[in-house]
Amino acid sequence: MYRPEVAAYKCRCAEFILAITPPLPNLPHRDPSICGVPSLVIPRKDAQCVFSMRAERDRKPIRLTLKDGKVERWFLYRCPRCDLAVAYDTADKDAAYTYTLESALLKMDVD
């Protein structure tokens, strides 16, 4: 029988942030030649991917200049305890993807 594996991740400060199936290592990396910040891609409109994120999303985006010179808006998601940026998406509404910042999240052991 199919049993989806749910993985949990915490912030660097140990605050619980993300529960997701499939686990992050099974998700694709964003092409590092685009932005240079190691990010994993969470598809928001894929029924195979279910997640819950406990993070506060900034109302105002930051602007990043990509390697090809284009400017991208990042709406950051921050840890509710320590304010560290843990993820972002690039659309104001209805983002197709959310990107997690690889260096921010640590896997939790849950039994």
Q: What are phi and psi of 14, to 5 degrees?
A: 85, 0
Q: How many CB atoms lie within 10 A of CB 57?
A: 14
Whole-number minimum distance, CB 1 to Zn ion, in Å?
A: 36
Question: Which H/E stretch holds residue 88?
Answer: strand 85-89
> What is the per-residue binding string for Zn ion in 56-95, x denoting contact by CB under 5 A?
-----------------------x-xx-x-----------
* Residues numbered 5-44 forming contacts with Zn ion, rule: CB under 5 A: 11, 13, 15
| CB nearer to Zn ion: pick between 12 and 73 | 12
> Which of 15, 12, 22, 79 has the alpha carbon at shortest distance from 50?
22
Residues that bind Zn ion (CB under 5 A): 11, 13, 15, 79, 81-82, 84
